[in-house]
Amino acid sequence: MTRPFPLVLSAPSGGGKTTVARALLARRDDVGYSVSCTTRPPRAGEVDGEAYHFLTTEDFEAEIAAGSFAEFAQVHGRWYGTRAAELRRVMAGGRHVILDIDVQGAEQIAAAFPDAVLVFLLPPSGETLLARLTGRNTDDRAAILRRMRNALEELRHVTRYHYVVVNDDLEQTLRRVGAILDAEVVRHARHEALDDRLAGLMSDLEQRLRAFAHS
Ligand code: 5GP
C-alpha cells in the first residue's frame, strides 16, 4: 500500500551501520539492500556483488560519465557510488531500499529523492568508535587514522538527517530503526491509491448505513 522509499543509514566507519543494515534485512521482508560500487579492494571475506560491486577506477569513472549513479562520492580516497538501476530494482520489487552510504551520498539522495528517510547512527563515545575500528583487524594504522579523521568530519553533517540514533546496544538500535520504518511506512503522503481506498470504504459504509437504516 505504501510507495517504496530509500532509507539512508549513515555513521562514521565503525559506527555499526553494516551490522544494523544486515540485521534489518534478515528480520524484515519489506526492505531490500542497495549493493554499492567501489574502487576499494575487497576485504577478506567480501564477495563481489554482495558486499559491493568491486570496480576498477577506469570502469567506475566510465559509469560516472555515463550517468549511471544516483549518487557517488570519494570516501577515504576511493570512489563509492549507488547505481540508479540498483535502487529501481529493489523498489520495483515493492521493498524499501536501505543505503549504507556516507554523508556526501546522503545529501545527493535527499536531493534526488525528497521522500528518502535519513538516519544517522551515532557511536556512544569516541572510545567505543576507536575500539571498533582497531578491533576490526582489517585496516592498518594509517587507514584507522584516516577513518577517525573522516568520522570527525561526518559528525558535522548530522543536522541534515531526519533521525539520530545512538548505537550503543544493537537490539535497541534495531527496535528504534524498525520503529522509524514502521512510522514512515504509514505517512499520509506515502500511501498509494489512498483516494481509491477511501472512496471504496465510503461507498461500502454508505450502503451499509442505508441497509441498516431500513432494517
Ligand atoms: P567501507 O570501505 O568501510 O565499506 O565504507 C566506507 C564508507 O563509504 C562508509 O561510510 C560507507 O557508508 C560509505 N559508502 C559505502 N557505499 C557507498 C556508496 O555507494 N556511496 C557513498 N557515498 N558512500 C558509500
- Is residue 95 packed enough to be buried (19+ CB in 10 Å), middle (13-18) or exposed (0-12)? middle
- Region 150-158: what's the mean pLDDT? 93
Please name the residues in contact with 68: beta carbons below 8 A apart, sequence gap of 6 or more.
83, 84, 85
Q: Check residue 144 and report its DSSP letter.
A: H
pLDDT at site 134: 86
Q: Are residues 60 and 68 in contact, defined by beta-carbon separation less than 8 angstroms? A: no
Q: What is the pLDDT of residues 8-47, one digit of tens each?
A: 999 998 888 999 999 999 999 999 999 999 999 998 899 9
Cα distance between residue 140 and residue 123, in whole Å: 21
Closest CA to 13 of 107, 146, 117: 146
| pLDDT for 135 | 82
The H or E element spanning position 49 is none
The CA distances from residue 72 to 46, 81, 105, 169, 176, in Å, are 21, 4, 6, 30, 28
Please count the CA atoms within 13 angstroms of the CA of 20 that sit on its side-chain side.
33
User: What integer is the mean pLDDT of 60-84?
Assistant: 97
Query: To test the ligand 1 pocket, which listed residue (36, 52, 155) has its Cβ within 8 A of the most ligand atoms?
Result: 36
pLDDT of residue 140: 84
Q: Is 13 in the pocket of ligand 1 (CB under 6 A)?
A: yes
14 and 136 Cβ atoms separated by less than 8 Å: yes
pLDDT in tens, 108-122: 999 999 999 999 999
Instruction: Provide the pLDDT for residue 143.
Output: 85
CB atoms within 10 A of CB 48: 11
pLDDT for residue 58 is more than 90 = yes
CA 80–ligand 1 middle distance (angstroms): 6
Could you please report the per-residue DSSP string of 152-199? HHHHTTGGG-SEEEE-SSHHHHHHHHHHHHHHHHT-GGGBTTHHHHHH
Mean pLDDT of 124-145: 85
Does residue 105 line the site of ligand 1, with CB under 6 A? yes
Residue 139 has pLDDT above 80, yes or no: no
Residue nearest to atom 14 of ligand 1 (CA): 101
Q: Whose CA is nearest to atom 19 of ligand 1?
A: 81
- pLDDT reported for residue 15: 84
* Higher per-residue pLDDT: 61 or 192: 61
| Confidence at residue 132, expressed as pLDDT on a 0 to 100 scale | 86
Ligand 1 mean position to 75 CA, how many Å?
7
In the DSSP assignment, the letter for residue 56 is -
Instruction: Tell me the percentage of the chain whose pLDDT exceeds 90.
Output: 83
Grid cell at residue 112:
534526488
Task: State the pLDDT at residue 86.
Answer: 96
Protein residue with least CA distance to atom 21, ligand 1: 101
Retrieve residue 58's grid coordinates: 577506469
Ligand 1 atom with the shortest distance to the CA of 40: 2
All three cell numbers of 17, joined, read 551501520
Is pLDDT at 213 greater than 90 in this prediction? Answer: yes
pLDDT at 138 over 80: no
Q: Could you tell me which residue, 130 or 81, shows the higher pLDDT?
A: 81
Would you state the cell numbers that stand for residue 93, as one nine-digit string? 520489487
Q: How far is the CA of 150 from the centre of ligand 1 (A)?
A: 12
Q: For residues 87 and 70, is the Cβ–Cβ distance under 8 A? A: yes
